[in-house]
Amino acid sequence: MTVQKLQVGMAGLGRVGKLHAMNFLQKTPRAQLVAAFTPDPAEITWGRVNLEPHGVTLYTNYDEMLKHPGLQAVAIGTATSVHAEETIKAIEQDLHVLCEKPLSTDVEVCRAVVQAAKKKPHLKVMCGFSRRFDDSYRDAHAKMEQGLIGRPAIIRSQTCDKFDPSGFYVEYAAWSGGVFVDMSVHDIDLSLWFFGDEVLPKSISAHGITAVQPELKKYNDYDNAVGIVEFWNGKIAYYYCSRMMAAGQEDTTEIIGTEGKLTVNGNPQRNFVNLYHNGGITREIPHNFMGRFSPAFVQEANDFTAACLDNTPLPMKLSNAVKAVEIGSYLQEALVSGKQIHFDEIGRRIEKAQL
Amino acid sequence: MTVQKLQVGMAGLGRVGKLHAMNFLQKTPRAQLVAAFTPDPAEITWGRVNLEPHGVTLYTNYDEMLKHPGLQAVAIGTATSVHAEETIKAIEQDLHVLCEKPLSTDVEVCRAVVQAAKKKPHLKVMCGFSRRFDDSYRDAHAKMEQGLIGRPAIIRSQTCDKFDPSGFYVEYAAWSGGVFVDMSVHDIDLSLWFFGDEVLPKSISAHGITAVQPELKKYNDYDNAVGIVEFWNGKIAYYYCSRMMAAGQEDTTEIIGTEGKLTVNGNPQRNFVNLYHNGGITREIPHNFMGRFSPAFVQEANDFTAACLDNTPLPMKLSNAVKAVEIGSYLQEALVSGKQIHFDEIGRRIEKAQL
Amino acid sequence: MTVQKLQVGMAGLGRVGKLHAMNFLQKTPRAQLVAAFTPDPAEITWGRVNLEPHGVTLYTNYDEMLKHPGLQAVAIGTATSVHAEETIKAIEQDLHVLCEKPLSTDVEVCRAVVQAAKKKPHLKVMCGFSRRFDDSYRDAHAKMEQGLIGRPAIIRSQTCDKFDPSGFYVEYAAWSGGVFVDMSVHDIDLSLWFFGDEVLPKSISAHGITAVQPELKKYNDYDNAVGIVEFWNGKIAYYYCSRMMAAGQEDTTEIIGTEGKLTVNGNPQRNFVNLYHNGGITREIPHNFMGRFSPAFVQEANDFTAACLDNTPLPMKLSNAVKAVEIGSYLQEALVSGKQIHFDEIGRRIEKAQL
Amino acid sequence: MTVQKLQVGMAGLGRVGKLHAMNFLQKTPRAQLVAAFTPDPAEITWGRVNLEPHGVTLYTNYDEMLKHPGLQAVAIGTATSVHAEETIKAIEQDLHVLCEKPLSTDVEVCRAVVQAAKKKPHLKVMCGFSRRFDDSYRDAHAKMEQGLIGRPAIIRSQTCDKFDPSGFYVEYAAWSGGVFVDMSVHDIDLSLWFFGDEVLPKSISAHGITAVQPELKKYNDYDNAVGIVEFWNGKIAYYYCSRMMAAGQEDTTEIIGTEGKLTVNGNPQRNFVNLYHNGGITREIPHNFMGRFSPAFVQEANDFTAACLDNTPLPMKLSNAVKAVEIGSYLQEALVSGKQIHFDEIGRRIEKAQL
């Protein structure tokens, strides 16, 4: 008897694409990476060294990869601008899809993906929000479900990256959708997870600055921003995103309930080492999201694979991915316009003058 | 040779008044508590037991206490509603004043106190924001001044009390000025300290809920609120205040600069004890502000005394106390009205429509 | 082109054996688990479900497994009593060996393994001390090598297990070699790593109690023991081992140098979650060594595989494994006899009377 | 009505003497510092500035201070060599005594003090072990008494000072009694407190090195030492003392019971500030015992005063102070001689040969 493995193709071999490719190749026992696509010559070269010897066929044309014999699923880690199109194409080819977040920075485009997926309910189509697969977030969610903090009412969540002096994030701002869509979308997704995805925003405020990269202003973006989302059912989530942390990546979440509070990563640490020296006690923290969330990406690949092979439910709804981008877009709009945004009780946007 | 001690009278012997009285009586070597006033019979009884035997004369009439022979200074810890009046009266009697925060919940009334104080520049008139006297906040401020975090850009600060099931805070809301004026005023004052008191607000947003005490709504107040103050010089402060913490008092501040971050009380703890038990590792945290800030109140009494006796500058300007209440009031207005508030570059309020 | 994978056979499918088997099967990309041996019917059943479908041949006879076609390496996770014999047999079959610690609880038997390995210098024979493969210990060692703590002088290290009420450890004591050989051997190995494996003991003391399992006395063993090893070059290591922790596994190490200190796991935590509740702030800790060291076991399998395939040096010498058991045995002797043990400067044991 | 205050005289105005003097002068409301003695001209000068203006009479002759009109109690903070003599003299003058630890480094001399005190049972005679007055230790003790850790079985306790490059501790070793008597005596006293002062040692081992101050050897002393005391009732305490910490003072204690563990100061910190910087997260720790235990010294002065004025029991027995020095001396002997020391079940010392 031989074990059936999910035949996976990888689209995109950039930073996150490489991570996914290696996870499917080496750390997802029930999956087999059989194909990879990238239009980028440097990435193809990387693939020749790291993937081809393990039996992975390389493609420079996405449509051709989709026709790889026996292919069952595609993982998409290309540029955000092509996520939606590639996802829809894969769905049309009857392939399961794991797409990196976000589906698109455009809410309407996101919705088109959801529509396409709805037509093929036998397919597993997931937009990967890595924190949903993190042990600590899962433990916190389980503890909340057990009632350990009463009714959750306030979420504080931040996505804060170590400062990157290369200037990369300035040009990136041209198409990233802005900091709330690019960074806080993780925190918004967590809010939907912990508050329930049926929550409807009531009002949204946001403020931002360009503390270290004033050039961001040309793209209407910011390097530090704070936003508040008040929901109709008496809950509030507030977010901070920043690209200027000195010590490293600081993604922290608090879920505050009527009878207790859960914190995730309130005390960042890279590992279990502390150095006692003349100036005190120092511990290091991860320099980037991979230092914090690598195991979550592995879990994600395994959970997605299991859902495809066993036809079990995915751990998150595709529509949430749209809702997270939608709320992120509202926050970004509030940030750029300097205006609070309001919604009625069934989620329709209203002008304050109407109130 | 005998040592000259500052002759102090205490107004109010409620919770905070008792604390100040005992500090001036026992923990302020250069001061001597000689008089105390309270209109409350139960507090007078407490004074008979705890103060009178130490030579403190008790008064039930504030004006009479002000005439106590040799009195040099008054500490005011009565109800907020009489802070301003009592402060002005003391100033008129040529007495130094240490007044509990806030001077008033009404900005105009606060200004009247500042005006009265301006006429007597030889007097020390201070509105006590206890955190300015806390070792940790002072250390953080000194580290910022040393440039250890670059230029400060973002402040996150919260004042979060342990849930009080007695319902006290519902009635209290009738005259407290609201949560931002009553609680966050500490965090606002910290912002003025760390950002510089010349900062001018550019826009203000706030959102709140009544998670555990819905009765607060009748006073237009909330038990959890989040607010953002954006300043004109590219700085942002954001605040969270809550009256529903399960574990105890959690007053935490982060000062985020372009090259580093300082946290104060990011990891609350009551003392140095950890209990390892079947469910993990547990440490307790203080149940109220006294468990956290008692030494700061002692420091405050001593610093105030030194300033009076030595005619040295007070550690904080009286005008800051007004500015903190003013910003708190704007936050409260933004909270209750559901509208963002905007200001021009010289601090004048504008309507968004004008922009 | 096809990638060459190390053909591995697993001996023993008990608790640790299963862990190794799954690691070689799923988490060691350059290795292929091709065979597994166990004499235990229940373990064979487990193997039929978990290994056979992946192409692993099961054996109930160790010698036959050694003849598995193409086999290159054996991982040994059977009972300690057969570790040495199985290792020697594998060496004789020209196979690389990764043997779980200890080689034997008998120093002479350990030495026989080293002798056998010496005859086949082309083989990689390693006794796996998992902490050598742990990220945090490796980081601490690297920091020490960089000189961040000056010259290391004192090591405090403890291996403390969560209390197991089943009574398992009483019968286990009959053949475990005693707590210092069974548990502290990890801490001793760390001492050899951080102090250098050339260190020679000068004197050894130990004391123990049976706090929760008095039945251990029948096997001359203890459930809590403290030992000190003083080395000739002015260094001291002291150890604590316990089987009665309430909260979970607490394996902690401090390396104290002339200019600083490194701690590893001074603050145990299971993950990044803290629960704030009415009684304070609680975090959980791992319940067993797998909760703490699982990733180290994966690293070990990968490092061993790389050394075999690339003929690169192993990260630790086999002779250290003997030395760790030897020092553990001395500690155990000092514990049971109630006598300090002394050595001369070339490592020969001496009686104190001779001094 | 006037309040009766305990009339206190201070002997010694060195480092600890100044601390006690200022505490009795300013932080002990029920006591009045009326006299101070020191033979040292520099200390007299300090007293003229800091004490005399507050009505404290200075003496250069101890016997004369004892005759100060109305004197009721003496606090002794002179050199250890005269502690005992001065304590006995004060007792003979019918004065209460708070003597800094230790009464003497000589057990017989300690016993003479206890004998003198026994003759005057109406007097309060206390040897101050500051940790008994520390909030955290008291909280830990209370939690143990509540049964939160089951039956205490193992204590690990360390007294570790920041390295003092001045060389002071070399000459100090000539008369300090050695590190176990000078430093670990605090940890031993804690053991008597947590285990009960009736515990009898069964066997004692100790090992030491001179890692940073080899000159200590001329006084048979060490800068790092580890000792184990096994008690007859199945309990073990082990101690580490060091004078070479880089980061600051690290006095840490663990009390390990059959159902839990209490740690005191497992995570040293100077205050609530953390600095996030390019190299990680750093917190400072106190540089000396005053940074950690100042409030305990204040508590001690107040508790002692209350016991004298109210004739209530002291929080610790004088005989414990002797026992702590006795055990410290045994540890020091074991350290210097390189021999384990054994005792029979009624506490008589035995030679191992007799066993």
Contacts of B276 in chain C (CB under 8 A): 245-247, 250
Mean pLDDT of chain B: 95
Contacts of C278 in chain B (CB under 8 A): 246-247
Nearest Cβ partner of B27 from D2, D27, D274?
D27
Question: Considering only CB atoms, which chain C residues are within 8 Å of D244?
Answer: 153, 256, 258
- pLDDT at A89 (0 to 100): 98
Q: Neighbouring chains of C at 3+ CB pairs within 8 Å?
A: A, B, D
Distance of alpha carbon D196 from alpha carbon D140, whole angstroms: 14
Among all chains, which residue has been given the structure tokens 């697993």? C10
Question: D278 at the A interface (CB within 8 A)?
Answer: yes
Residues A294, C210: Cα–Cα separation, whole Å: 43
Return the bridge partners of D7, or none: D32
Report how far apart, in Å, the C-alpha atoms of D342 and of each of C204, D308, D333, D354 are: 16, 40, 12, 10
> What is the reported pLDDT for A353?
54
Pairwise CB contact (< 8 Å): D246 & C228 = no
Q: What is the mean pLDDT of chain A?
A: 95
What percentage of chain A exceeds 70 in pLDDT? Answer: 98
The 8 Å CB, 24+ separation contacts for D214-218 are: D215/D167, D215/D170, D216/D169, D216/D170, D216/D173
Q: Say yes or no to pLDDT of D283 above 50.
A: yes
Chain C residue numbers with beta carbons less than 8 Å from the beta carbon of B278 are 246-247
What's the pLDDT tens digit per position in B99-108? 999 999 999 9
Q: Does domain A134-294+323-350 have CATH number 3.10.129.10?
A: no
Query: Which chains would you list as touching D if contact means 3+ CB atom pairs under 8 Å?
Result: A, B, C
CB contact under 8 A, D246 and C259: yes
* D340 to C340: CB separation less than 8 angstroms, yes or no: yes
What percent of chain C is modeled with pLDDT above 90?
94
Work out the mean pLDDT of chain C and round it to a whole number: 95
Task: Flag if D205 and C208 touch (Cβ within 8 Å).
Answer: no
Compute the nearest-CA separation of A225 from chain D (Å). Answer: 19
Query: Residue ranges of the domains in chain D?
Result: 6-128, 134-294+323-350
Is the pLDDT confidence value at D353 over 60? no
Give mean pLDDT, residues C258-266. Answer: 98
Residue C86: predicted pLDDT: 98
Give the number of beta-carbon pairs within 8 Å between C and D. 116
Q: Positive or negative CA dihedral for C31, C37, C40, C46?
A: positive
At residue C3, does pLDDT exceed 80? no
Same fold, D6-128 and D134-294+323-350: no
Read off the pLDDT band of C175 (50, 70, 90).
confident
Asked if A263 reaches chain C (Cβ–Cβ under 8 Å), the answer is yes
Query: Which residues of chain D neighbour C355 with C-beta distances below 8 Å?
Result: 338
Check CB contact of D146 with chain B, cutoff 8 Å: no
Q: Residue A62 and residue A90: Cα distance in Å, rounded?
A: 10
Instruction: Identify which of D247, D280, D284 has the shortest CB distance to residue A283.
Output: D280
Q: Is C272 in the B-facing interface, judged by CB distances under 8 Å?
A: no
Given an 8 Å threshold on Cβ–Cβ distance, is A340 in contact with B205?
yes
Tell me if A258 and B212 make a contact (CB, 8 A cut-off).
yes
Type of residue numbered A99: C
Task: Assess A53–D contact: CB distance below 8 Å, yes or no.
Answer: no
pLDDT digits (tens, 9 = 90+) for B167-186: 889 989 988 899 999 999 99
Q: Does B48 touch chain A (CB under 8 A)?
A: no
Q: Does C228 touch chain D (CB under 8 A)?
A: yes
Peptide bond into D295 cis (omega under 30): no
Is A282 in contact with D282 (Cβ distance < 8 A)? yes
D276 within 8 A of B261, measured Cβ to Cβ: yes
> Sign of the CA dihedral A236, A242, A247, A248?
positive
Record: contact C259-A275, CB cut-off 8 A: no
User: Which chain D residues are Cβ-neighbours of A250 within 8 angstroms?
Assistant: 276
Q: How far apart are the first and last CA of chain C?
A: 68
CA atoms within 13 A on the CB side of B160: 29
Decide if D259 and B271 are in contact by the 8 Å CB cutoff: no
CB-based contact, A147 to chain B, within 8 Å: no
CB distance C280–B281 less than 8 Å?
no
Classify residue A248 as left (phi > 0), alpha (psi -120 to 50) or beta.
Answer: left
Q: In what order do the strands lie in the sheet with A6-11?
A: A57-59, A31-37, A6-11, A73-76, A96-100, A125-128
Q: pLDDT by residue (tens digit) across B35-57?
A: 999 999 999 999 999 999 999 99
Q: Which residues of A touch B253 (CB under 8 A)?
A: none
Distance from CA of B100 to the nearest CA of A (A): 30
- The domain B6-128: what is its CATH number? 3.40.50.720
Which one, of A301, A322, A294, A79, lies nearest residue A197 by Cα? A322
Collect all residues of chain B within an 8 Å Cβ-Cβ radius of residue C284: 279-281
pTM of the full structure:
0.96
* Burial class for D287, CB neighbours closer than 10 Å (0-12, 13-18, 19+): middle
pLDDT, tens digit, 9 for 90 and up, residues B296-314: 999 999 999 999 999 999 9
Min Cα distance B271 → chain A (Å) is 18
Which of C156, C209, C355 shows the shortest C-beta gap to D236? C209
Size (chain A), residues? 355
Radius of gyration of chain C, Cα coordinates, nearest whole angstrom: 21
For tokens 């001390």, name the residue. C129
The one-letter amino acid code at D45 reads: T
Q: DSSP letters along B285-310, please?
A: --SSHHHHHHHHHHHHHHHHHHHHHH
C140 interaction partners in chain A (CB closer than 8 Å): 273
* D306 phi and psi angles, rounded to 5 deg: -60, -40
What is the reported pLDDT for A351?
76
Which residue does chain A place closest to B352, by CA atoms?
A339
Determine whether the interchain pair C280/B278 forms a contact, defined as Cβ–Cβ distance below 8 Å.
Answer: no
Interatomic CA distance for residues A149 and A154, integer angstroms: 11
Looking at residue D339, the DSSP 8-state letter turns out to be: -
Measured between beta carbons, the chain A residues lying within 8 angstroms of B267 are 266-267
Mean pLDDT in residue range C296-313: 97
User: CB-based contacts of B67: which residues, under 8 Å, 6+ apart?
Assistant: B93
Residue A1 pLDDT level (bands cut at 50, 70, 90): very low
- State the nearest Cα–Cα gap between B277 and chain C, in angstroms: 5
Whether chain C has a CB inside 8 Å of the CB on B276: the answer is yes
- Of all residues in chain A, the one with the smallest CA distance to C258 is A277
ipTM entry: 0.95
CB contact under 8 A, D338 and C342: yes
Residue B64 clears pLDDT 70, i.e. is over it: yes
Question: How sure is the predictor about C1, in pLDDT bands with cuts at 50, 70 and 90?
Answer: very low
Contact A260 C271 (CB under 8 A): no
Among the partner-chain residues B248, B268, B278, the one whose CB lies closest to the CB of C247 is B278
Is a pLDDT exceeding 80 seen at residue A64?
yes
C-alpha gyration radius of chain B: 21
Chain B residues near residue C283 by CB distance under 8 angstroms: 280-281
Nearest to C60 by CA among C21, C26, C11: C11
Q: What is the pLDDT of residues D208-244, one digit of tens each?
A: 999 999 999 999 999 999 999 999 999 999 999 999 9
A276 and chain D in contact, CB less than 8 A: yes
- Give D16-43 pLDDT, tens digit per residue: 999 999 999 999 999 999 999 999 999 9
The answer to whether the beta carbons of residues C151 and C257 sit under 8 Å apart is yes
Q: Does C165 contact chain D (CB < 8 Å)?
A: no
Q: Which of D281, D283, D287 to mutate against chain A (most A CBs within 10 Å)?
A: D281
Contact assignment for B273 to D267 by CB distance below 8 Å = no
**C21 pLDDT above the threshold of 60:** yes
Contact A346, A202 (CB under 8 A): no
Q: Would you place residue A355 in the very low, low, confident or very high pLDDT band (cuts 50, 70, 90)?
A: very low
Q: Identify the band that residue C47 occupies on the pLDDT scale cut at 50, 70 and 90.
A: very high
Nearest CA in chain A to C295: A295
Q: What is the average pLDDT across D69-86?
A: 96
Task: State the average pLDDT over residues A201-213.
Answer: 97
Structure-token match 């600590």, residue found: A136
- How confident is the model at residue C355, as a pLDDT? 47
CB contact under 8 A, A2 and C139: no
**Burial call D327-338: b when 16+ CB within 10 Å, e when fewer:** bbbbbbebbeeb
Return the percentage of chain B with pLDDT > 70, whole number: 98
3-state secondary structure of A34: strand
Residues with Cβ within 8 Å of residue A172, at least 6 apart in sequence:
A182
Expressed in angstroms, the distance from the first to the final Cα of chain A is: 68
At residue C232, the pLDDT reads 95
- Given a contact as 3+ CB pairs under 8 Å, which chains touch A? B, C, D
> Which pLDDT value is given to residue A352?
58
Instruction: State the Cα torsion B180-B185-B191-B196 to the nearest 10°.
Output: 130
Exposure string of C334-345, with b = 16+ CB inside 10 Å and e = fewer, is bbeebbbbbbee
- The CA distance from C280 to the nearest CA of chain D, in Å, is 14
Q: Say yes or no to pLDDT of A161 above 50.
A: yes
- Which helix (H) or strand (E) element contains residue D76? strand D73-76
The number of CA neighbours under 13 Å toward the Cβ of D66 is: 17
Amino acid at A171: E
The nearest alpha carbon in chain C to B271 belongs to C280
Can you tell me which residue has the tokens 């319902």?
Answer: B167
